[in-house]
Structure 1
Amino acid sequence: MGKVDTPVSRKEIAHTFATPKVTQSLEWRLFFSLAICATILYLHFLTDIGPKSHSADNDPWVGLASHCADAQPIDGSEVLQRQENLAKILYDHGASAYVAEPGANAQYFGNISQASWHLSERPLLLMIFPTLEEASIVAKITVITPAFEETRAKLLLVPGIDVTYASWAEDEDPYAVALHALSTLKGPIYVDGMMRNFIVDGLQKAAPGVHVMTAPPDVTQLRERKSLAELDLLRCANEVTVLGIRAVQAQMYIGIRESEVQVMIDEALAVAGLRERWALVLFGENAALPHGSGTDRVLGKADFILIDAGGLLFEYHSDVTRTFMLHDSSIPPEHTMIWYDVHTAQTLAHAVAREGVNTSAVDRVARDWLDGRGYKEYFTHRLGHGIGLEGHEAPYLRGGTDDTIRTGNAFSNEPGIYIEGKVGIRLEDCFYIDESGNSVFLTQGVGGQAQSPLYP
Structure 2
Amino acid sequence: MAVLLSVLYLLLFDPARLFRNPAPDFSHLASHCAHVQPIPADSFVARQDTLARTLHELGAAAYIAEPGANAAFYANLSGSAWHLSERPLLFILTPSVDDNNRIVANISVLTPSFEATRAKLLPLPSAADVTYPEWPEDADPYQVAVSAIPGLKSGTIFIDGAMRTFVADGLQKAVGGGHKVVSAPVEVKRLRERKSTEEIEIMKCANEVTLLSIRAAAEEMYIGIHESEARALVANALTSAGLKDVSVISLFGPNAALPHGSGTDRTLAKEDFVLVDCGGSLHGYVSDVTRTFALEDSRIPAEHLDIWMLVWEAQGIALATAFNGTITADVDRAARVTIETGGYGEYFTHRLGHGIGLEGHESPYLRGGSDDIILTGHSFSDEPGVYIEGKVGVRLEDCFYIDENGRPVLLTAGVGAPSTTPWDI
The SS at the match of 1:343 is helix
Contact 1:60 / 1:247 at 8 angstroms: preserved in 2?
Answer: no
Find the partner of 1:235 among 187, 204, 227. Answer: 204
What TM-score, normalized by structure 1, do the two folds share?
A: 0.87
Structure 2 counterpart of 1:67: 32
Q: Compute the displacement of 1:60 (Å).
A: 4.6
Is 2:207 aligned against 1:207? no
Find the partner of 2:125 among 143, 159, 167. Answer: 159
Structure 1 counterpart of 2:104: 138
Structure 2 counterpart of 1:149: 115
Is 2:135 aligned against 1:168? yes
Is 2:343 aligned against 1:393? no
Alignment of 1:47-446 (within 5 A): 60-61=25-26, 63-134=28-99, 135-162=101-128, 163-185=130-152, 186-208=154-176, 209-446=178-415
Amino acid at match of 2:210: T
User: RMSD over aligned Cα, in angstroms?
Assistant: 1.4
Q: Distance in 2 between matches of 1:57 and 1:257?
A: 14
Is 2:422 aligned against 1:453? yes
Q: Compute the displacement of 1:258 (Å).
A: 0.5
Unaligned runs of 5+ in 1: 1-53
Q: Distance in 2 between matches of 1:180 and 1:142?
A: 11
Q: Distance in 2 between matches of 1:412 and 1:238?
A: 11
Q: Compute the displacement of 1:224 (Å).
A: 0.2
Q: Compute the displacement of 1:126 (Å).
A: 0.3
Q: Distance in 2 between matches of 1:59 and 1:236?
A: 22
Q: Compute the displacement of 1:58 (Å).
A: 11
The SS at the match of 1:63 is helix
Contact 2:312 / 2:420 at 8 angstroms: preserved in 1?
Answer: no
Contact 2:53 / 2:95 at 8 angstroms: preserved in 1?
Answer: yes
What TM-score, normalized by structure 2, do the two folds share?
A: 0.93
* Identical residues among aligned pairs (%): 57
Q: Distance in 2 between matches of 1:149 and 1:231?
A: 35
Unaligned runs of 5+ in 2: 1-18
Q: Compute the displacement of 1:158 (Å).
A: 1.1
Q: Distance in 2 between matches of 1:329 and 1:93?
A: 59
Q: Deviations over 1:251-281 (max 9, x none)?
A: 1111111011111001100110000101000
Q: Deviations over 1:65-113 (max 9, x none)?
A: 1101111111111000000000000111110000000100011111111
Q: Distance in 1 between matches of 2:416 and 2:113?
A: 52
Amino acid at match of 1:73: P
After superposing on structure 2, the runs of 4+ consecutive aligned residues of structure 1 that deviate more than 3 Å are 54-60
Contact 2:319 / 2:408 at 8 angstroms: preserved in 1?
Answer: yes
Q: Distance in 2 between matches of 1:125 and 1:412?
A: 31
Q: Distance in 2 between matches of 1:61 and 1:108?
A: 31
Amino acid at match of 2:58: H
Contact 1:143 / 1:164 at 8 angstroms: preserved in 2?
Answer: yes
Structure 2 counterpart of 1:19: none
Q: Deviations over 1:39-77 (max 9, x none)?
A: xxxxxxxxxxxxxxx985996526311101111111111
Q: Distance in 2 between matches of 1:220 and 1:371?
A: 34
